């Protein structure tokens, strides 16, 4: 019985599950429809997101293409573009290498344009300048009217017309390890224009100097030739064949002429050239001495100026005040200084100052008898040449322009140069040129009655007379010199006679 009741309850439950009311079925259907709608809407949103992602990926691909194309263009531009030295132009900017065409030879003009810009010079200006120079060159051609092919004289003339300072470099005598760092001392230095090859193969290239990066950049106007950096260790070096080259390249043409260009004069190089002694002094020492003269401390320069005559001292001091180095500037002084080339007197002083620094100092023993006295005084003068020796004696007031004096070595050897001129207050030159031996003291005679020969001494006298023979006796000649003074020369004292 109980079993039948259980079966009945189970049957009823099963029927309840299988036969549900109509309202419950409708609710279930609505819920399922809502789920489907949500799923459909979410799938649409995902499709929209995919579309957006696809479009954004296409835009990124386009940007990448643009960046690749722009980078390729920049790489091509970098081959023919470089930063112009801030030393030449106030603002740093990019300047394109200016090329000559395949049917002209205007490399000289292109060099100037690659240093100063395309508007610096025109072909018409070059031709006019070349024509003017040809009229003064006695028939020498200065250019080719059709191709260009301008001579270096035309390039120099154009640069001077444009108020640029031009300096021809003596590359045959002065090595590059000397002149390159000396030229670089000019803060307004721009670069070089170099002539390479000779004859119909002559060509010009520009070498631009970057003062900030301390590097040289070779710029060739020939089509397809890229600018290259040149190390200072290979610039203007001489090879085993004896020729000079711009760099270490194997296909280089040798250098025939070099001109330096700047906005101010090359004073440092001129001092190097005019005091060049063949390289006896090392390059580093030579450069340091030039720096010492033009950029030295105030005390050293003042001590050297004190030994100059009053008029020259004032002139040189005034020039130093204009030179762009704080040699004489007081603390807080605001002086507008420019690189102004010195006057002739100032330049001679600077040359002498430099020569003294290049020549090693020597100690010279000097003795002098006091006037109207048998007492003798002596001193040691430290100097490097005859000019310095005379200057120290004047500074000590041992000699002056108002009193007569003469000098000799202690062994009675006369101090005179190869022309027979005795050592005097205006003398200059090396010790050897006046027979000065640092090991032998020098005697200064101030008394007009003093004699170099003592009674009882045995000497060899040399006497030279130039003039016209106006008389002859059996044992002597009468000679009138250029001043009209007549000399009587005994034939027994004459060693030789020269006819002029």
Sign of CA dihedral 104, 146, 167, 244: positive
Task: List the one residue out of 137, 174, 172 whose CA is nearest residue 152.
Answer: 137
At the second CATH level, the architecture of 94-274 is: Alpha-Beta Complex (3.90)
β-bridge partners, 255: 196
**Cβ(204)–Cβ(194) under 8 Å?**
yes
Alpha-carbon gap, residue 154 to 485, rounded angstroms: 57
Q: Please, where are the H alpha helices in 170-297?
A: 176-184, 267-274, 283-295
CATH of 362-445, one of 3.40.640.10, 1.10.10.10, 3.10.20.90, 3.20.20.70: 3.10.20.90
DSSP 8-state assignment for residue 464: -
Token pair in block for residue 369: 């008898």
Domain residue extents for the chain: 2-75, 94-274, 289-357, 362-445, 463-500
Per-residue pLDDT of the chain (500 residues; tens, 9 = 90+): 455 445 455 545 454 444 444 444 455 455 555 555 455 555 555 555 555 555 555 555 555 544 544 444 444 444 444 444 444 444 444 568 888 887 788 899 999 999 999 899 999 999 999 999 988 887 788 888 888 889 999 999 999 999 999 999 999 999 999 999 999 999 899 999 999 988 778 899 999 998 888 889 999 998 888 899 998 888 999 988 889 998 877 778 899 999 999 999 999 999 999 988 887 788 888 888 888 888 766 677 777 787 787 778 888 888 888 887 544 554 444 444 568 899 998 999 899 888 888 877 889 999 987 766 667 888 999 888 888 888 889 888 888 887 788 888 888 888 888 777 888 888 888 888 888 888 899 998 875 544 556 666 676 777 788 889 998 887 888 888 887 888 888 887 887 888 87
Dihedrals phi, psi of 189, to nearest 5 degrees? -70, 135
**Cβ(317)–Cβ(305) under 8 Å?**
yes
**Cβ(210)–Cβ(87) under 8 Å?**
yes
Furthest-apart CA atoms within the chain: distance in Å: 198
β-bridge partners, 41: none
- CA–centroid distance for 67 within its chain: 43
Task: List the one residue out of 166, 185, 197 whose CA is nearest residue 286.
Answer: 185
Token pair in block for residue 123: 């072909």
Residue 77: its pLDDT value, please?
Answer: 45
Exposed/middle/buried for residue 258 (C-beta within 10 Å: 0-12, 13-18, 19+)? buried
Residue 140: its pLDDT value, please?
Answer: 82
**Cβ(381)–Cβ(425) under 8 Å?**
no
Beta strands in 319-458 (DSSP E): 362-369, 376-383, 406-409, 442-445
């Amino acid at each position: 019985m109980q079993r039948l009741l259980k079966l009945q309850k189970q049957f009823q439950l099963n029927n309840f599950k299988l036969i549900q009311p109509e309202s419950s079925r409708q609710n279930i259907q609505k819920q399922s429809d809502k789920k489907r709608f949500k799923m459909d809407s979410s799938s649409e949103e995902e499709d929209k997101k995919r579309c957006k992602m696809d479009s954004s990926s296409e835009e990124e691909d386009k940007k990448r293409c643009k960046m690749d194309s722009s980078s390729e263009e920049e790489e091509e531009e970098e081959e023919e573009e470089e930063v112009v030295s801030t030393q030449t132009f106030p603002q740093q900017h990019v300047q394109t290498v200016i090329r000559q065409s395949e049917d002209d030879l205007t490399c000289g003009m292109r060099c100037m344009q690659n240093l100063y810009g395309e508007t610096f010079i025109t072909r018409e200006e070059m031709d006019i300048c070349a024509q003017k120079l040809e009229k003064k060159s006695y028939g020498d051609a200065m250019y080719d009217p059709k191709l260009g092919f301008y001579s270096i004289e035309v390039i120099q003339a154009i640069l001077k017309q444009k108020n640029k300072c031009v300096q021809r470099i003596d590359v045959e005598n002065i090595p590059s390890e000397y002149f390159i760092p000396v030229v670089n001392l000019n803060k307004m230095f721009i670069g070089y224009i170099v002539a390479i090859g000779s004859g119909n193969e002559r060509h010009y290239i520009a070498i631009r100097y970057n003062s900030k990066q301390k590097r040289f950049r070779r710029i060739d106007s020939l089509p397809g030739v890229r600018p290259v950096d040149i190390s200072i260790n290979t610039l203007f070096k001489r090879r085993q064949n004896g020729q000079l080259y711009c760099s270490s390249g194997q296909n280089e043409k040798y250098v025939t002429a070099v001109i330096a260009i700047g906005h101010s004069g090359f004073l440092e190089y001129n001092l190097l050239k005019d005091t060049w002694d063949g390289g006896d002094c090392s390059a580093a020492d030579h450069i340091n001495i030039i720096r010492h003269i033009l950029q030295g401390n105030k005390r050293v320069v003042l001590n050297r100026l004190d030994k100059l005559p009053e008029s020259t001292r004032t002139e040189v001091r005034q020039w130093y005040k204009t030179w762009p180095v704080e040699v004489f500037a007081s603390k807080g002084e605001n002086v507008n200084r420019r690189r102004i080339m010195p006057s002739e007197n100032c330049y001679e002083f600077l040359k002498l100052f430099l020569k003294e620094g290049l020549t090693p100092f020597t100690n010279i023993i000097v003795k002098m008898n006091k006037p109207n006295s048998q007492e003798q005084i002596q001193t040691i003068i430290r100097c490097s040449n005859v000019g310095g020796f005379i200057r120290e004696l004047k500074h000590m007031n041992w000699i002056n322009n108002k009193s007569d004096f003469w000098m000799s070595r202690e062994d009675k050897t006369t101090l005179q140069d190869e022309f027979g001129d005795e050592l005097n207050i205006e003398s200059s030159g090396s010790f050897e040129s006046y027979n000065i031996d640092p090991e032998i003291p020098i005697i200064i005679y101030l008394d007009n009655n003093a004699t170099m020969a003592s009674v009882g001494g045995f000497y060899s006298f040399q006497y030279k007379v130039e003039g016209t023979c106006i008389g002859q006796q059996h044992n002597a000649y009468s000679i009138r010199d250029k001043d009209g003074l007549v000399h009587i020369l005994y034939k027994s004292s004459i060693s030789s006679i020269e006819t002029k």
